[in-house]
Amino acid sequence: MLLKIDKVSKIYGEGDNSVIALDNISLDFNAGEFVAVMGSSGSGKTTLLNCISSIDKPTKGNIYFGERNLLKMNDDELSEYRAKHISFIFQNYNLITNLSVYENIILPLQILGKSIKENQNNIEKVMEELGISKLKSKFPNQLSGGQQQRVATARAIANSTDILIADEPTGALDSSNSENLMKLFKDLNKKLGLSIFMVTHDPLAAKFSSKVIYLSDGKVIDILMKYKNESEYEFLEKIIEKQKSIDEGVI
């Protein structure tokens, strides 16, 4: 087991103003899974990702990374967990404005003290695959939203870790760039065994995953599995069908 989410609740605020963002969620994730999390705005998707990546702390429950309980780790242990095992792609990119594209991408490697030279081939390959090689010396404010998203993605995957966490990674991309990014995710998942947790609104992105988890009001209301012999197209049809029944209040 890679991650075990055990009866996790997250409550923001207190008393009359409190919001239950996660309501007693339990989920198990194996290494190598590609999981999509879907659900309407405010259903707790970002909170769930933030708890997994230890940016946020559950109010109740436990999260295990292998045998280790994130809630029992001290700040140093949590920083190490984040640095060594987790890559993020944030909803708002979080690029550093006074660093160039290339400097942004190599920053996590530098922070971890990893050799840029040894990782150079991988860095170049990732930039090539994301179509941002020519933007190397540009600064974030000279890029479009879609380009910034691709730089943030390159930064996350150039530093190879165990788990990629992405909050709406295709949110700012047009359909062809979205598809390229999802194909890259799928490739990283298949070839490197990278485990992926991705929040998305888009069934066309979710169809690349192997499991879709539906959240509503902080609860898991459904899980769709992609079977081995199922094509992406068949899985997409299931995802769209499920979305319809959720919207119509059938489940």
Ligand X SMILES: Nc1ncnc2c1ncn2[C@@H]1O[C@H](COP(=O)(O)OP(=O)(O)O)[C@@H](O)[C@H]1O
Residues binding Mg ion (CB under 5 A): 46
Closest contact distance (angstroms) between CB of 199 and Mg ion is 6
CA distance 88 to 248: 33
Quick one: 5 or 130, whose CB is closer to ligand X?
Answer: 5
Residue 139, phi then psi, degrees to nearest 5: -105, 155
Quick one: 13 or 193, whose CB is closer to ligand X?
Answer: 13
Please give the size of the binding site for ligand X, defined by CB under 6 A: 12
CA distance 131 to 45: 29
Q: Does residue 39 interact with ligand X by CB under 6 A?
A: yes
Q: Does residue 42 interact with ligand X by CB under 6 A?
A: yes
Quick one: 45 or 226, whose CB is closer to ligand X?
Answer: 45
Helix (H), strand (E) counts: the chain: 8, 10
Residue 75, phi then psi, degrees to nearest 5: -60, -40
- With CB under 5 to 8 Å by kind, the binding choice for 195 among ligand X, Mg ion, none is none
CA distance 154 to 133: 10
**Residue from 16, 41, 134, 191 that binds ligand X (CB under 6 A)?**
41
- With CB under 5 to 8 Å by kind, the binding choice for 12 among Mg ion, ligand X, none is ligand X
Q: Does residue 221 interact with ligand X by CB under 6 A?
A: no
Quick one: 46 or 161, whose CB is closer to Mg ion?
Answer: 46
Q: Are 70 and 77 in contact (CB under 8 A)?
A: no
Q: Does residue 19 interact with ligand X by CB under 6 A?
A: yes
Q: Does residue 53 interact with ligand X by CB under 6 A?
A: no
Eight-class DSSP state of 106: H
Q: Are 143 and 135 in contact (CB under 8 A)?
A: yes
179 contact partners, CB below 8 Å, separation of at least 6: 204
- With CB under 5 to 8 Å by kind, the binding choice for 223 among Mg ion, ligand X, none is none
- With CB under 5 to 8 Å by kind, the binding choice for 120 among ligand X, Mg ion, none is none
**Residue from 12, 68, 92, 241 that binds ligand X (CB under 6 A)?**
12
DSSP track, 145-163:
HHHHHHHHHHHHHHS--SE
Quick one: 9 or 180, whose CB is closer to ligand X?
Answer: 9
DSSP E strands: which ranges in 159-243?
163-167, 195-199, 211-216, 219-225
**Residue from 25, 34, 35, 45 that binds ligand X (CB under 6 A)?**
45
- With CB under 5 to 8 Å by kind, the binding choice for 66 among ligand X, Mg ion, none is none
Quick one: 24 or 122, whose CB is closer to ligand X?
Answer: 24
Element of type H or E holding 170: none
* Residues that bind ligand X in the complex, under the rule CB under 6 A: 12-13, 19, 21, 39, 41-47
